[in-house]
Amino acid sequence: DSGVTQTPKHLITATGQRVTLRCSPRSGDLSVYWYQQSLDQGLQFLIQYYNGEERAKGNILERFSAQQFPDLHSELNLSSLELGDSALYFCASGRSRELFFGEGSRLTVL
């Protein structure tokens, strides 16, 4: 158990819809990282938050947004969903010397 909790584990929705993925980092970790993993794109870094502030942006689409709340949990919002957004979405916390990953949220867009 990494200590990072992600919900929901599985999510099936339709194109055009909006979903929210939730992440609770390990106790004491101020940083949260979001990654998307698909068969064709591999593991893509989306965005990083540190203590409520956006720290770094990767390949995050404009249709996607994230935030980190005062209690340090984070949410990743995906809107106007397309078939290609089907993927595993991972949250990780920790420091750059070692990241701890959650078990992921598997999103299927039909």
Partner 1 sequence: SQQGEEDPQALSIQEGENATMNCSYKTSINNLQWYRQNSGRGLVHLILIRSNEREKHSGRLRVTLDTSKKSSSLLITASRAADTASYFCADGGQAGTALIFGKGTTLSVSS
Point out which residues bind partner 1 (CB under 8 A). 2, 4, 31, 33, 35, 42-43, 45, 48, 50, 55-56, 58, 88, 90, 92, 95-104, 106
The residue (of 15 and 59) whose beta carbon lies closer to partner 1 is 59
CB within 8 A of 96, min separation 6: which ones?
A: none
Residue 86 and residue 24: Cα distance in Å, rounded? 22
Smallest distance, partner 1 to C-beta of residue 19, A: 19
Q: How many residues are given for the chain? A: 110
Smallest distance, partner 1 to C-beta of residue 102, A: 5
The residue (of 75 and 103) whose beta carbon lies closer to partner 1 is 103
Sign, CA torsion 82/37/101/110: positive
Strands 10-13 and 105-109 turn out to be parallel
Smallest distance, partner 1 to C-beta of residue 46, A: 9
